[in-house]
Amino acid sequence: MTSTALAATLFGPEDLRMVEHPLGKLADGMVRVRFGAGGICGSDMHYFRHARTGDFVVKSPLVLGHEISGEVVEIGGAANLKVGDRVAVNPSRWCGHCVACREGRPNLCENIYFMGSASKTPHMQGGFANYFDAIPAQCVKIPDHVSYQAAALAEPLAVCLHAVARAGNIEGKRGIIFGAGPIGLLTMLAAHRAGMADVTVADIAPAPLAFASRLGASHVENVAGGEEGLKAQAASRPYDVAFEVSGTAAGLASAIGIVRRGGIVVQIGNLPGGQIPTPSNAVMAKEIDLRGSFRFGFEFMNAVELIADGSVDVLSLVTAERPLSAAPDALRLALDRSQSVKVVLTAN
């Protein structure tokens, strides 16, 4: 059995190295997983560039990666799994007994362990490692026809299913998404599935917008030079729901500004840390429901099902694959929005 793992470990801004970590003996109640694939997320990119994402600051070496899949190679104790099972790995471990868990909102668990995150100290190590350990409840079996690459993208799809759920019943409604990165695009696909009649995608870069068009956006708007086009659209057919996915103060202000009176704004993007000025009087005067959306709860299972039954083609977002051993270069590639949407790490 393997006793070490080679892991993409962040030591500081732009200082990501493949480092051997001791794994030790597998603890009782855990399973050991051999890396199958891993999606590079916007938060991984923020950690890589700035050693922080939003208010989460890297204070000690952090193994990145929370969009992961792999093969069960060892089981410690009883588990509804067997060696050789191919699994999508939910990066969240919920306690199941805190107030949030009892309310059915496990993403808000007070005692959550979330892989590849510096939200707590000591940090929670991620899954960009050729072997990593998880609890059986994190491991959702995937059918043979589902690739590890697709299974790894159950996590970002779950984020978007949760965001759409936070918007409530969107059937027949008109929506706008600020940010055409992978989360914006998957939110668009999830909103279509939930019956949203019309989805506009706005961004400041042409390449992601062209990608959004190919994936089925009703309209795309380049707002780099201002929002005149959007305002004209909204004047004739108001937006009922706005999703802020860009992770910028400008995106959030635009979402609040453009949504109709009585509309809903869902904030998925993780804005830069600290105090962010927002047009709060517009929230008041338009009676906007401003709703946060953080990670996901039981949507993870649903995401795996939607991928397995072909309802959502997550691989349509993948613009490049790189081996795990080339993670630092893959992060740099992912940061280039002119050529990358989703970059996925593979075992070889």
What residues line the site for Zn ion (CB under 5 A)?
Answer: 95, 98, 101, 109
CB 110 to Zn ion: min, Å: 5
Name the residue among 346, 334, 240 with its Cα closest to residue 41: 334
Nearer to Zn ion, 26 or 109 (CB): 109
CB 117 to Zn ion: min, Å: 16
Q: Which amino acid is at 155?
A: E
Spell 164-173 as b/e; 16+ CB within 10 A means b: bbbbeebeeb
Cis peptide upstream of residue 272 (ω within 30 degrees of 0):
no
Nearer to Zn ion, 135 or 283 (CB): 135
> Which helix (H) or strand (E) segment is 175 a member of?
strand 174-178
Q: What angle do CA 303, 222, 44 make, to 5 degrees?
A: 45
Nearer to Zn ion, 95 or 283 (CB): 95
CB 72 to Zn ion: min, Å: 25
Nearer to Zn ion, 28 or 103 (CB): 103
Nearer to Zn ion, 73 or 98 (CB): 98
Give 257: exposed, middle or buried? Use CB within 10 Å, 0-12, 13-18, 19+. middle
CB 91 to Zn ion: min, Å: 15
The 10 Å Cβ neighbour count of residue 97 is 10
CB 46 to Zn ion: min, Å: 26
Q: Which residue has the tokens 């659209």?
A: 233
* CA distances from residue 257 to 212, 230, 244, 277, 288 in whole angstroms, order as listed: 22, 11, 12, 13, 10
Q: Which two tokens stand for residue 303?
A: 């995401």
CB 97 to Zn ion: min, Å: 6
Q: Which two tokens stand for residue 320?
A: 């490049």
Nearer to Zn ion, 109 or 204 (CB): 109
Question: Can you tell me the distance from the alpha carbon of 15 to that of 141, in angstroms, rounded to the nearest whole number?
Answer: 34
